[in-house]
Amino acid sequence: MPARRAPDGGPLGRWAVRLAVRVAALGAAAAATGWALASPLRPATALLAAALALAAFGALWREARRGHAAVGALLEALVAGDGTRRLDGLPPGADLERLGTALQALLERERAARLALERRQAQWLALVEHVPLPLLAIDAEGRATLLNHAARRCFGAASPRPLDSFDAFGPGLAGALRQDPPPALVELHPADEAAQSLRVSAGTALFDGRLQRLVALQPIQAELDAAESRLSADLLRVLTHEVMNSLTPVTSLLRSAEALLPPAPGAAAAPAGMPAPPGTDPLATLRQALGTATRRAEGLAQFVERYRAVARPLQVRTAPVDAHALAASLARLFAAEWPAERARLALDLPTGPFALQADRDLLEPVLMNLLRNAAQAGTRVRLAMRRSASGRSLVEVEDDGPGIPPERRAEVFLPFFTTRAEGHGVGLALARQVVLAHGGSIRVDAGQVLGGACLRLVL
């Protein structure tokens, strides 16, 4: 049977040969020591043989320990997960060298797998961090961990935090997060912004070594507002189309009939809308009735045209708008329309550069109309622009007037709702359409600076 060959080609490897030589040397030294001790006439020879035996034993011990120490160190590194350790100190060509090489390959493979796992974990963490939905992990003790940037932007940086603290962001929000399963919709009240509806999704997963509930909050307010706007626009288009189709020929026929009537000589027509006095010419009475009906039909036609203005879809082209330049332009227009003795405008803007991402052609008329409404309500007006707590652009128009009662604040954005006798109720409805088209929100609050009404726009 041919001899097994080591990687370097020597029988059993050079390490085995060196080990055999040291064993043989130890045996020879031991034999010499025994022979010398058996002869009483050779004490010096016995001491020399004993010294040689100890040296041979030491060489054998070092040779055996040399490889085992290196392999042991490699095994310790494998257990500790230290893939940077290298196998040094093994005798070349030894059988132990092959064992060490295998262990080194195993350690490097484990290190590569660990690095790949860390890369995948970093990718998942980056993905979770940049998900636009707030993500929460809720443990059995009722503490919530904010998992990503969207959650920290909504609820602040403190994490983990008790669920009770979430009631500050909306009534009943903490109770909704405790429920399992949670309600389908919750309402969030961010600072400086209008209330938002959120869709809640929840599941259970192992997080930080513990079974926790993972909750995702999806903002759907923009979709709800867009659906409401589309429904209103569709309804208004149908109504205005049908009304105008019927109203136009009626108005035309009334004008024609009024023109066909001959003038009544010497008969004074009663004022429009007032009953004719006794003895009035019947033709004059008919003329008066036709004139009143014509004016009412024309007024109704103008009313329908205002409906069309509200229902008209908006094409928004956003671009960076310098807030300081926009405010200066609005201040000039306001001063031209409202002398200082009637109303004064104060600007509250950031000291540094500040830009709004908006369509200036749509936003500037809306803001001018809000300033006009504020001037009609009081004598002092404030226009403020700043960044909100969530990083969005915030515009406020405030006055020192009587304000708007809380129970009527939601109604002011309805088309044709107005609290002034000369108002048409279109301005705030159009303002809401413009803001929603920008993906923002608008609401009415009590003013904190001047004490009147405060229209707050978030873009």
- The tokens describing 211, both together, are 């079974």
Whether the predicted model's global pTM rises above the 0.85 cut: no
- For position 113, what pLDDT does the model report? 83
Tokens of 275: 């009953």
Res 312: pLDDT: 65
Which string of DSSP letters, residue by residue, matches 296-349?
A: HHHHHHHHHHHHHHHHSPP----EEEEHHHHHHHHHHHHHHHS-TTT-EEEEE-
Sheet bearing 196-207, strands edge to edge:
161-162, 143-146, 135-138, 210-219, 196-207, 185-188
Residue 398: the pLDDT is 92
- Whole-number pLDDT of residue 426: 67
Q: What are the CA-CA distances from residue 130 to residues 117, 133, 152 (Å)?
A: 20, 9, 12
Q: Can you give the pLDDT at residue 1?
A: 41
Residue type, 265: P
Query: What whole-number distance in Å separates Cα of residue 448 and Cα of residue 451?
Result: 6
Q: In which region does residue 40 sit, left (phi positive, over 0), alpha (psi from -120 to 50) or beta (all else)?
A: alpha
Output the CA–CA distances (angstroms, integers) from residue 263 to 92, 151, 212, 322, in the order listed.
130, 77, 89, 62
Residue 420 tokens read as 């002034």
Question: What pLDDT was estimated at residue 272?
Answer: 47
Sign of CA dihedral 188, 189, 191, 194: positive
CA-to-CA separations, 8 to 11, 22, 89, in angstroms, rounded: 9, 20, 17
Q: Would you give per-residue pLDDT tens digits along the chain (459 residues)?
A: 444 444 444 433 555 566 666 666 666 666 666 666 666 645 666 666 666 666 666 666 666 666 566 666 666 666 665 555 555 555 554 555 666 677 677 777 878 888 888 888 888 878 878 877 888 888 888 888 888 888 887 787 777 888 887 877 777 777 777 777 777 777 776 666 666 777 777 777 777 777 888 888 877 777 777 776 677 666 666 666 666 677 777 777 777 777 777 765 554 444 544 455 545 567 777 777 777 777 777 777 766 666 666 566 677 888 999 999 999 989 988 888 888 888 899 999 998 899 998 988 888 888 998 998 889 888 899 999 998 777 788 999 999 988 888 878 777 777 666 666 565 566 787 888 888 888 888 888 888 888 888 898 888
